[in-house]
Amino acid sequence: QSCAFPFTFNSVTYSACTSTNDTQSWCSPTSTYNGQRLYCTPTASVPSSTCGSSSLISPSSCSQTVPSNVLQFLFTPCTIGTVRSISPVYGPAGTSVTITGTDFSTTTCENIVLIGSSYKCPITSATSTQITCQIGTSSSLNAKSIQSFNVIRDRQGTLSNDGLIQFQFQAKITNVSPLQGSTAGGTQITITGDGFIPSDTRVIVGSIEYTSFATITYSQIQFITQQPPSDYIDHLIPITILVGENSAICSSVSCNFTWAQSVTPYLVSVNPTSINGPQTLTLMGQNLATSNSITTADIHVTIGGEQCNVTSVSNSSIICDIGNIQVGDYSVVASID
């Protein structure tokens, strides 16, 4: 329905909307008011912006005709601007993206840069033809697939880009710790970064797949190394993180791991070698406590399946107390958390 101009209400003729006997502007859909009202909304304005300033559309700047009937709505590409390009078109968290186009708001908070379906890229500057935003960490963007890219004028609508502007978000590795570990395996590796999608992320060291053994969150991956092939020992072996088919970029000091003999802990002797009751044992070796953070609680020693209580540890020795065990020859097994 549309307004019937002129219309008569209470013996008065109106040729435009009126707020008589109402709190809103209205009109009658019939030439003589019969109790039905249509409420009128100005075509040249939109609600106030959420950031506190007034946002106005100027249909008069368009070549198209503005509807004369206030209850009609004109969809026109010239009431909202256009996104023409973005640069770069790919990048990880921390990337600054420059958007060029027309009719951006010079009030920064009236622009919304939407990457994918829901991520609002924080805007750092805005002019009528250029916006810059910087992708933050923990954005939840999926590096597996290309993301849509849109600019929205607050409460006015999405600027035209013909669906051709897209952005490829990239996962990023920011740190790998430690960078080397025992040739026997058992080293816990922690990879920190951004953009790891648990259901879509693969973890590969050299040719060894660790995905099924890894704990993966959006910002961290943890796994424990296996004993490597002999030709991996004392070599830099690349760590590859794939999100979908896309490799995470490396911004760490190194994205390699080394199974290194120089840090591999090993035992060379135990003293005494025979006991006939509870006894204190001294285990000699190398690389038993390469870090000051390693304490007796991190060292585990068993003899014949019985726990030997560790009382002291240094880089070259472990001292532990063993209780009564059955007669026999046993291997001494030590491990370090």
Cβ–Cβ under 8 Å, residues 158 and 230: no
In this predicted structure, what is the pLDDT of residue 25?
Answer: 83
The answer to the question of residue 124 being in a domain is yes
Residues 93, 164, single domain; the answer is: yes
Please enumerate in sequence order all residues whose Cβ is within 8 A of that of 129, keeping only pairs 6 or more positions apart, or say none: 100, 101, 102, 104
Mean pLDDT of the chain: 88
Cβ–Cβ under 8 Å, residues 235 and 258: yes
Asked if pLDDT for residue 158 goes beyond 90, the answer is: no
The answer to the question of residue 196 being in a domain is yes
Residues 206, 269, single domain; the answer is: no
Q: What span, in angstroms and rounded, lies between the C-alpha atoms of 221 and 233? A: 23
In this predicted structure, what is the pLDDT of residue 45?
Answer: 46
Give 135-169 as a 3 state SS string. CCCCCCCCCCCCEEEEEEECCCEECECCCCCEEEE
In this predicted structure, what is the pLDDT of residue 24?
Answer: 77
- Domain end call among 262, 290, 325: 262
Q: What span, in angstroms and rounded, lies between the C-alpha atoms of 173 and 194? A: 7
Residues 91, 141, single domain; the answer is: yes
The answer to the question of residue 302 being in a domain is yes
Residue with tokens 């009382």: 311
Asked if pLDDT for residue 103 goes beyond 50, the answer is: yes
Cβ–Cβ under 8 Å, residues 125 and 108: yes
Residues 147, 214, single domain; the answer is: no
- Domain end call among 169, 190, 223: 169
Residues 241, 226, single domain; the answer is: yes
The answer to the question of residue 152 being in a domain is yes
For the ranges 49-58, 103-112, 242-251, the one whose mean pLDDT is highest: 242-251
Residues 181, 253, single domain; the answer is: yes
Residues 238, 301, single domain; the answer is: no
Q: Does 178 sit behind a cis peptide bond, omega within 30 degrees of 0 on the bond before it?
A: yes
In this predicted structure, what is the pLDDT of residue 64?
Answer: 42
Domain containing residue 32: 1-43
Residues 100, 151, single domain; the answer is: yes
- Tell me the helix, strand and coil percentages in the chain, rounded to 5: 5, 40, 50
Residues 229, 218, single domain; the answer is: yes
Q: Are strands 208-209 and 201-205 parallel, antiparallel or unpaired?
A: antiparallel
Q: Quick count: other Cβ atoms within 10 Å of Cβ 79? A: 21
**Which position has the higher pLDDT, 24 or 121?**
121
Q: What span, in angstroms and rounded, lies between the C-alpha atoms of 248 and 204? A: 12
Residues 255, 289, single domain; the answer is: no
Q: What span, in angstroms and rounded, lies between the C-alpha atoms of 132 and 138? A: 19
Q: Which of 64-73, 121-130, 142-151, 283-292 has the lowest mean pLDDT?
A: 64-73
Residues 301, 251, single domain; the answer is: no
Asked if pLDDT for residue 44 goes beyond 60, the answer is: no
Asked if pLDDT for residue 101 goes beyond 70, the answer is: yes
CATH code (residue 26): 2.10.10.10
The string of pLDDT tens digits covering residues 113-128 is 999 999 999 999 999 9
The string of pLDDT tens digits covering residues 160-209 is 887 789 999 999 999 999 999 999 999 999 999 999 999 999 999 999 99
In this predicted structure, what is the pLDDT of residue 22?
Answer: 83
The string of pLDDT tens digits covering residues 282-332 is 999 999 987 778 899 999 999 988 999 999 999 999 999 999 988 999 999
Kindly calculate the radius of gyration of the chain based on its CA atoms and give it in whole angstroms: 35
Q: Are strands 147-153 and 246-247 parallel, antiparallel or unpaired?
A: unpaired
Which residue intervals of the chain are DSSP H helices?
none
The answer to the question of residue 258 being in a domain is yes
Tokens of 228: 């490597």
Residues 87, 164, single domain; the answer is: yes
CATH code (residue 271): 2.60.40.10
In this predicted structure, what is the pLDDT of residue 133?
Answer: 97
DSSP three-state, residue 27: strand
Please enumerate in sequence order all residues whose Cβ is within 8 A of that of 144, keeping only pairs 6 or more positions apart, or say none: 197, 200, 243, 244, 245, 246
The answer to the question of residue 48 being in a domain is no
The answer to the question of residue 71 being in a domain is no
Asked if pLDDT for residue 71 goes beyond 70, the answer is: no
> Is the dihedral angle over the CA atoms 297, 301, 305, 307 positive or is it negative?
negative
Q: What span, in angstroms and rounded, lies between the C-alpha atoms of 253 and 174? A: 8
Per the structure, the count of domains in the chain is: 4
Cβ–Cβ under 8 Å, residues 180 and 253: no
- Domain end call among 145, 169, 193: 169
Q: Quick count: other Cβ atoms within 10 Å of Cβ 302? A: 16
Asked if pLDDT for residue 57 goes beyond 50, the answer is: no
The answer to the question of residue 56 being in a domain is no
Instruction: Compute the average pLDDT of residues 226-233.
Output: 96
Asked if pLDDT for residue 60 goes beyond 90, the answer is: no
